[in-house]
Chain A
C-alpha cells in the first residue's frame, strides 16, 4: 500500500507557488518536446548529430559486450521460431527443393555470365567498398530500426552511404560520428528502396514493416505479379543504392504487393561493407579507377 501523496501545499504561499511553477515548467517543456519531436521527424539529419554523442558513449560498452558474447541474433527471432516451427519446416523443404533446381540452372548461367563479363571487362567495377566494419548493436525498444556501425568518420563514412553484407543490402548510413555511425536498417518503416525482380527486371518499391519483413509494391498496379521465392535486387534508381545488390526474397503475396524477407539478416551478419552512393560522379570515378586487364594475354 503506497502512502498517499501530500500534494496540497496548505496555506504557505511559497509552497503553492513552487508547486504551480513545477507544473508550468512541466507543461511548457512537454509541449516544447512535442514540437522538437515533430521537427526531428521532418529533418532527421539535423538532429542526428545530437544523438551521435550518446552513441559514442554507448559504443565502447557495446564493443566490450559484443566481444564477450558474440553477436546474439535477434531475440524475437528465436521466440517466433518456436511458434512457427511446423509451417516453417514445410516451407523450408519446398524452398530447398526449389533452390536445388535453380542451382543447376544457375551454375550454367553463371559460367556464361563469367565469360561475358570477362569480355566486357566489368567485373572489377562493383568491388570498391569504402570501408568495412561490423554492426555493434541496435535500438531495440523503439519502433525505429537503427543499428550502430563500428566505424565512423575516421574511416571515411558519411551519411547517405549504402551498407551491405555478404548476403545482401543492410541499409544506409543515417549519420556518422567520429568513431561510430548510425545505420538505418532495411526493415525500418521509413526506409524505402527501389528494387527490381532479378528474374525479369520488374520495377518495385520495398519499404520496411518494422518487424523484420518488407512490403514490396509494384509501380504499375495492373495485377499482382509476385510469386513466393522471387528474388529482389536493387535497381539503382534514385541514385543512392548501387544496382544489383540482393535485397529480399518474396515470402507471400498480399493484396497490394508482396511480403518479403531481407536476404541479409543484420542480427547474424558478420562484417558489412560501406559503399559509395550511386551518384553520377562516383560512377565515373569508379570507372576510371577500375584496373585495366589488357595486360593479361
Chain B
C-alpha cells in the first residue's frame, strides 16, 4: 500500500492542528530574549502577543477563552514584565475578541487590523502601567508609544504569517 500519498477525505494530523498555533505563540514570545540585542528602549514589537491576537482573529473558536492564562504566563517569563500581567491582559484581550466576534458578525481585513491594533495598544499600555506603578503615567505611555505604533503597522504582516501557519496546520500530509 502506498502510505506516502494522501488518501481522499483523510483529516489533517490532529497533533499538528493542536501544536502549530501554540508553538508559534510560545516561540514568538521567547524569541526576543534569544536575540543578541541589548535594547535601550522597548523597541521590538511584542511578537508573542501579535501571534496570539492574530490566531484568535483568524480562528476564534480554535481555543477556549482561558488560553491566555498559560500562554500569558509563558510570555511573562520571557518578556521581563511582572509575572501575571500578561496572564491577566491576554485573557482580557481574548474575552474582548470573543465579544467582538459576536457583535461584528462578518469581520473583514480592516476589522481584524483595527481590533488587533486596538488590543495591542491597550495591552502594552496597561502592561507598562502595571510594571511601574510609581512613575507618572504620561511618561510611561510616551515610552511605549513607538512600540505600539510599530506593532499596529505590523499587524497585516502577522495576519499573513498566521494564515501561512494555518495552511500548514490544516495541510493533509
Report if A35 contacts B (CB, 8 A): yes
Contacts of B144 in A (CB 8 A): 143
Interface residues of A (CB under 8 A from B): 1-2, 4-7, 22-23, 25-27, 29-41, 44, 47, 50-51, 53-55, 57-58, 61-62, 65-66, 68-77, 79, 135-148, 185, 187, 189-190, 209-212, 265-267
B84, A39: Cβ atoms closer than 8 Å: yes
The smallest beta-carbon distance between A161 and chain B, in angstroms, is: 19
Report if B9 contacts A (CB, 8 A): no
Bound Cα distance A51, B48 (Å): 17
The one of B47, B60, B87 in contact with A30, judged by C-beta atoms closer than 8 angstroms, is B87
The smallest beta-carbon distance between B167 and chain A, in angstroms, is: 15
B43, A140: Cβ atoms closer than 8 Å: yes
With CB as the reference atom, state the residue of chain B lying closest to A147.
B38
Pick the most buried of B38, B43, B101: most chain A CB atoms within 10 A of its CB: B38
The one of B40, B107, B147 in contact with A212, judged by C-beta atoms closer than 8 angstroms, is B40
Q: A26-B95, A209-B143 are in contact. List 13 more A-B contacts (CB 8 A).
A: A7-B98, A23-B95, A26-B64, A29-B69, A37-B83, A40-B82, A50-B83, A54-B78, A76-B41, A141-B44, A143-B81, A144-B131, A148-B33
Report if B45 contacts A (CB, 8 A): yes
**How many residues of chain B are within 8 Å of chain A by beta carbon?**
67
A1, B81: Cβ atoms closer than 8 Å: no
User: Can you give 29 contacting A-B residue pairs, CB < 8 Å?
Assistant: A2-B58, A2-B106, A2-B107, A5-B101, A25-B64, A26-B91, A26-B94, A29-B69, A30-B87, A30-B91, A31-B88, A32-B87, A33-B91, A34-B85, A36-B83, A37-B88, A38-B130, A41-B82, A58-B78, A69-B36, A74-B37, A75-B37, A137-B34, A137-B36, A141-B47, A143-B132, A143-B140, A187-B40, A189-B143
Report if B138 contacts A (CB, 8 A): no
B38, A189: Cβ atoms closer than 8 Å: no
Contacts of A189 in B (CB 8 A): 132, 135, 140, 143
Given A33-B69, A36-B87, A136-B36, decide whether A141 and B45 contact each other with a Cβ distance below 8 A: yes
Bound Cα distance A36, B66 (Å): 17
Bound Cα distance A111, B48 (Å): 55
Given A7-B101, A37-B130, A41-B82, decide whether A74 and B39 contact each other with a Cβ distance below 8 A: yes
Within 8 A of A (CB), among B38-76: 38-48, 57-58, 60-61, 64-66, 68-69, 72-73
Bound Cα distance A25, B65 (Å): 8
The smallest beta-carbon distance between B136 and chain A, in angstroms, is: 10
Bound Cα distance A192, B102 (Å): 47
The one of B57, B94, B102, B112 in contact with A7, judged by C-beta atoms closer than 8 angstroms, is B102
A71, B61: Cβ atoms closer than 8 Å: no
Bound Cα distance A265, B57 (Å): 40
Given A7-B102, A37-B83, A141-B46, decide whether A72 and B135 contact each other with a Cβ distance below 8 A: no
The one of B43, B127, B130 in contact with A75, judged by C-beta atoms closer than 8 angstroms, is B43
A142, B40: Cβ atoms closer than 8 Å: no
Bound Cα distance A210, B144 (Å): 9
B84, A26: Cβ atoms closer than 8 Å: no
B143, A143: Cβ atoms closer than 8 Å: yes
Given A143-B132, A143-B143, A210-B42, decide whether A72 and B98 contact each other with a Cβ distance below 8 A: no
B41, A40: Cβ atoms closer than 8 Å: no
A70, B36: Cβ atoms closer than 8 Å: yes
Contacts of A74 in B (CB 8 A): 37-41, 43
A76, B36: Cβ atoms closer than 8 Å: no
With CB as the reference atom, state the residue of chain A lying closest to B62.
A5
Report if B22 contacts A (CB, 8 A): no
Report if B79 contacts A (CB, 8 A): yes
The one of B80, B87, B139 in contact with A146, judged by C-beta atoms closer than 8 angstroms, is B80
Report if B156 contacts A (CB, 8 A): no
B84, A37: Cβ atoms closer than 8 Å: yes
